[in-house]
Structure 1
Amino acid sequence: MKNVISTYFPKVEDIQKAAETIRKVATETPLMESIRYSSEFDASIFLKREDLHRVRSYKIRGAFNKISSLTEEQLKKGVVCASAGNHAQGVAFACNHLGVKGTIYMPTVTPKQKIEQTKMFGKEWIEIILTGDTFDDANKMARDNCSAEGKTFVHPFDDPKTIEGQATVGLELINQSDKPIDYVFVAVGGGGLASGLCGIFKALSPQTKIIGVEPAGAPSMKKSIEKGAIVKLRTIDKFVDGAAVQKVGEYTFSICKDHLYKMITIPEGKVCQTILDLYNRDAIVVEPAAALTVAALDDFRDEISGKNIVCIIGGSNNDITRTAEIKERALLYSNLKHYFIIRFPQRPGALKEFVADILGPDDDITHFEYSKKSSRENAPAVVGIELKSSADLKPLIERMKTNNFFGDYLNDKPDLFQYLV
């Protein structure tokens, strides 16, 4: 099995066959130039709008191609998958379209919006089971179900048919672009889409550089490539849920380690700022994993100048209830949101003095927790302050210390920060 995995590489004819298969359910998504990003980076920046599929992500490609390849006997027994959301929707749609019973295992932390969408696409053909805290937990339960009931597992990324289905994104790109593509930025979770792109571009556009992008809190592919073997991360930040896996696939690792131009990571806070920018300035709604590719452009500003660039916008399944967290993470990353323990003197007018004399004219209190539980000279409060400029932080702390209000700065104390805020 290991030898088969190490020698597998997606073939053009198989990708073309997959394109014919998925054409039944997935229309070609547009390749749109971003005037704003093209101007900012002095390059031709195009967005491949995979968020515009009917299931709002590219995952329909791989899921439908895989299930369509099964035998009649396999289809009768049914299929099983594990997913943080987008693959689940692709599988659900395929099950409903093909009349196949499917069981879908999802982590308990999956946004409600993705769960509801999965139910809508699958209707009576699917059963959803929420289990575990990560994709890997759900994946284990799904595998156990397959073994017990003889069903077929539809892997979200580590399967040749899934990879070939995702590779059709690249086939479309090559046909859509009027000039050679110099760079393609692709988000990497398990690596299915990245592997597919490596296959099609190596064959049809070998000069194109494929850059994989992971969230900093879940760098499973980057760590694996650096070590030269698959690494299972002990803990991950699950915020970028569409690209947060503890362990990449064997097929995908074998392909990505040899064929990606570079593999980089982006801080979750920067991803959040990109989500807000795309919404506020371009009227594009993206999920965290889809924002990774655009957020990565900064790291290649000099290298991509004057080049023809494509960023894959992988999906738009973002839960609106996460907006507050997205804004918070963006402000923290931009060094504009700060949390302190403030020691307020136990006398009337202390808060008024803090607001009038300590805060700057553009500073805003956005969080305040205070409880007077003793007769001590000073009583602490947890205070969140939003600044207009990151340069305002140092003078603010100096004024706090000079007037004996400063207790502690929480942003650089993650354990205490998580407990108090």
Structure 2
Amino acid sequence: MLPSDSPARVPLADVLHAHRVLQEVIVPTPLQPNRGLSAKYGCNVYLKREDLQVVRSFKIRGAYNLISSLPEEERRRGIVCASAGNHAQGVAFSCHALGIPGIVYMPATTPRQKVNQVKLFGGEFVETRLVGDTFDDAYAEAVRVSDREKLPFVHPFDHPRIIAGNATIGKEILEAGVQPIDILILSVGGGGLAAGIASYVKQVSPETYIIGVEPEGAPSMTRALEAGSVVTLDEIEKFVDGAAVKRVGDLTYAIGKELIDEVLLVPEGRACTTILELYNEHAIVAEPAGALPVAALSAVDPERLRGKNVVCVISGGNNDVDRMQEIKERSLIYEGLKHYFMINFPQRAGALREFLDDVLGPTDDIVQFEYTKKLNKENGPALVGIELKSREDYEPLVGRMTRKGLRFVELNKDPLLFQFLV
């Protein structure tokens, strides 16, 4: 750990050492100007493309820096880690490269793509074990095994060498030739990425304003800053798996509290919209946590961005294609373009035709319709999903249903019912 009397940050000497060590395995990722985002937000947007890293995320930097520093005796016994997926890939790659056995714990909810990549990178050196529903479940089991078997635990974020490895991203950003870096935006999960980059950047470029971004459903750093100490959240939304943790690290909190200037919360739906925009408009495959910084641009006052050099760190691109339908669904709902209703239809011939003719707008589209006719009933419920061309079409649609005398429930506004649809 850092000396108790030192500022909460990783020393520059540790970052420079990590930079030398990592030359063996990492790809120095590009800092790319993005014309589309720059025009959209009135500033100079640059994307730090850690999704182009050898394991498609930044996590290899901290994992390799820590594992390679272990004493020979500990290497022979092997290591244990817990991960939501990306840290596992970095650990697996490092174990294979160094010839060290490893046990990797991940939540059972981890996207299949990430699980398969862990097996690919680790080969015969790594065993994967899926436990629980969240990172915190996997973490608890991994710590138990580490203690029981006396194996080194490779923490995904709360360790000085992990943070020092991540800090090398900050070194690459500041040495990429863009001056000055006015605003730097990065995602916050456990805090290892933010703590690392902030440690380096604030020592070399203290005027750079650093914004951390969390998913709205997992605001662990935000709540810790509000409370003045690390707290454990009771429940979290697991969708942004790379940043969904119930508790940030003690060390990462201490560094973040001192060096991160602001923390923003981004709705999961907004992250989904950004994933689709990055793919369709910029040919970038970003995972939910990787899309958070770009998604946060819309939450920053435009006047603060105008004319500034703004760096967004795309932390990873391990997105499972099987999730794309859910991502599109969440995006449409967030943008107000898709709505679900439970509608009580009259059970008579022509009722559906009247709905199509009198209620549905010219550009409205029924994308889901489930109806079961009930015998000896005057009315029957139907689940109706409607996709709109624009957000402004919603109020007229509801108005026409009301004037038609239809009884309906808006499922988008009922969390208990809506969770069964998304």
The whole-number CA distance in structure 2 between the counterparts of 1:307 and 1:135 is: 36
The answer to whether the 8 A contact 1:5-1:254 is kept is no
- Deviations 1:402-421 (CA, angstroms, capped at 9, x unpaired): 22223211111110222467
The whole-number CA distance in structure 1 between the counterparts of 2:97 and 2:204 is: 32
* Residue 367 to residue 6, structure 1, CA distance change in 2 (3 Å): farther
The whole-number CA distance in structure 2 between the counterparts of 1:363 and 1:331 is: 14
User: C-alpha displacement at 1:351, in angstroms?
Assistant: 1.0
Look up the equivalent residue of 2:185 and give its one-letter code: F
Aligned pair 1:327/2:328, yes or no?
A: yes
The whole-number CA distance in structure 2 between the counterparts of 1:287 and 1:86 is: 10
Using the aligned pairs only, state the percent identity: 52
In the TM superposition, structure 1's runs of 4+ consecutive aligned residues that sit over 4 Å from their partners are 1-8
**1:39-50 paired onto structure 2 within 5 Å:** 39-50=39-50
Aligned pair 1:354/2:351, yes or no?
A: no
Aligned pair 1:228/2:218, yes or no?
A: no
The answer to whether the 8 A contact 2:8-2:258 is kept is no
Look up the equivalent residue of 1:95 and give its one-letter code: C
Instruction: Give the aligned partner of residue 366 of structure 1.
Output: 367
User: C-alpha displacement at 1:203, in angstroms?
Assistant: 1.3
Instruction: Give the aligned partner of residue 128 of structure 2.
Output: 128
TM, length-normalised to structure 1: 0.98
The whole-number CA distance in structure 2 between the counterparts of 1:418 and 1:203 is: 45
The answer to whether the 8 A contact 1:5-1:250 is kept is no
Gaps of 5+ in 2: none
Instruction: Give the aligned partner of residue 252 of structure 2.
Output: 252
User: C-alpha displacement at 1:41, in angstroms?
Assistant: 1.3
The answer to whether the 8 A contact 2:62-2:166 is kept is yes
Look up the equivalent residue of 1:383 and give its one-letter code: V
The answer to whether the 8 A contact 1:218-1:244 is kept is yes
Instruction: Give the aligned partner of residue 416 of structure 1.
Output: 417
The whole-number CA distance in structure 2 between the counterparts of 1:2 and 1:146 is: 23
The answer to whether the 8 A contact 2:103-2:128 is kept is yes
Aligned pair 1:313/2:314, yes or no?
A: yes
The whole-number CA distance in structure 1 between the counterparts of 2:117 and 2:2 is: 36
The answer to whether the 8 A contact 2:347-2:378 is kept is yes
Look up the equivalent residue of 2:334 and give its one-letter code: Y
The whole-number CA distance in structure 2 between the counterparts of 1:408 and 1:258 is: 47
User: C-alpha displacement at 1:62, in angstroms?
Assistant: 0.4
Instruction: Give the aligned partner of residue 400 of structure 1.
Output: 401
**1:6-405 paired onto structure 2 within 5 Å:** 8-300=8-300, 301-405=302-406
The whole-number CA distance in structure 2 between the counterparts of 1:224 and 1:3 is: 22
User: C-alpha displacement at 1:3, in angstroms?
Assistant: 7.3
The answer to whether the 8 A contact 2:80-2:151 is kept is yes
User: C-alpha displacement at 1:369, in angstroms?
Assistant: 1.4
Q: Find the residue that maps to 1:176 and give its secondary structure.
A: coil
The answer to whether the 8 A contact 2:2-2:10 is kept is no
The whole-number CA distance in structure 1 between the counterparts of 2:320 and 2:258 is: 35
The answer to whether the 8 A contact 1:343-1:404 is kept is no
Look up the equivalent residue of 1:15 and give its one-letter code: V
175-184 or 13-22, which moves further after superposition?
A: 175-184
The answer to whether the 8 A contact 1:382-1:420 is kept is no
RMSD: 1.4
User: C-alpha displacement at 1:2, in angstroms?
Assistant: 9.9
The whole-number CA distance in structure 2 between the counterparts of 1:287 and 1:220 is: 20
- Deviations 1:8-29 (CA, angstroms, capped at 9, x unpaired): 5201111011011111000210
* Residue 222 to residue 68, structure 1, CA distance change in 2 (3 Å): same
Q: Find the residue that maps to 1:95 and give its secondary structure.
A: helix
- Deviations 1:199-258 (CA, angstroms, capped at 9, x unpaired): 101211111111100000000001101110111110000000000000000000001011
315-324 or 344-353, which moves further after superposition?
A: 344-353
The answer to whether the 8 A contact 1:397-1:406 is kept is no
The answer to whether the 8 A contact 2:180-2:309 is kept is yes
The whole-number CA distance in structure 1 between the counterparts of 2:130 and 2:29 is: 31
The whole-number CA distance in structure 2 between the counterparts of 1:171 and 1:420 is: 44
Gaps of 5+ in 1: none
The whole-number CA distance in structure 2 between the counterparts of 1:297 and 1:229 is: 28
- Deviations 1:294-313 (CA, angstroms, capped at 9, x unpaired): 00011222211111110000
TM, length-normalised to structure 2: 0.97
User: C-alpha displacement at 1:370, in angstroms?
Assistant: 1.0
- Deviations 1:243-298 (CA, angstroms, capped at 9, x unpaired): 00000000000010111010111000000000000001111110000000000011
The whole-number CA distance in structure 1 between the counterparts of 2:5 and 2:111 is: 33
Number of positions where the alignment pairs a residue of Structure 1 with one of Structure 2:
421
The whole-number CA distance in structure 1 between the counterparts of 2:396 and 2:25 is: 58
User: C-alpha displacement at 1:374, in angstroms?
Assistant: 3.1
The answer to whether the 8 A contact 1:220-1:245 is kept is yes
